[in-house]
Amino acid sequence: MERFFRKAGALIYYSIAKHLPPSYSSVQIGQRAIRAFCGKLMLKHCGKKVNIEKNAIFSARVSLGDYSGIGINARIHGTCTIGNYVMMGTDVVIIARNHLFDRTDIPMMHQGFEEERPVVIGNDVWIGDRVIILPGVHIGDGSIIAAGAIVTCDVPPYTIVGGVPAKPIKTRR
């Protein structure tokens, strides 16, 4: 039965809800509630008062905490745990696995994928626009990821990071 609800949620989301105006639009037709409803059907876990924005694409293996959001045009591929009170900007990409490329005698596109490494985002995190988070990264509670950053390694709690690759800028404490 769970599988049926996930498929129904995905059908409603990808055919209708994904295309509705953003939540901040002057046109309010219940888009936030519709997308949250789809999230509750589709996601591994979906907390209360979530905000899934327009054109977001995400895996059913995402867990979304209370009062958290998935930003406009976000792409979340694979297993990702998002804590409570997480803000996510537009065009964020979260990847839980990469292509294999060890062999040079076989084209990379035929080598398959590495094993999935889930991404974990703590509570009260702010992820800026166009951030890319790579496989296996853990982002600590209270952290801020500056716009345009590429996060390749873990971010300690209450740390502000930015750049390519992302480096600590300062601490919030």
Known active-site residue 99? yes
E strand or H helix at 139: strand 138-139
**Token code pair at residue 134:** 């790579």
Torsion angle, alpha carbons of 147, 150, 156, 161, to 10: -40
Handedness of CA 110, 114, 115, 117 (dihedral sign): negative
Phi, psi of 75 (to 5 degrees): -130, 115
Exposure class string for 14-33: b at 16+ Cβ within 10 A, else e: eeebbebeebeeeeeeebbe
User: What is residue 55's three-state secondary structure?
Assistant: coil
In the set 45, 77, 99, 110, the catalytic residue is: 99
Q: Which of 171, 135, 137, 132 is nearest to 155 (CA)?
A: 137
Using the structure block, give the residue that is written with the tokens 């589709």: 42
Residues recognised as catalytic: 99
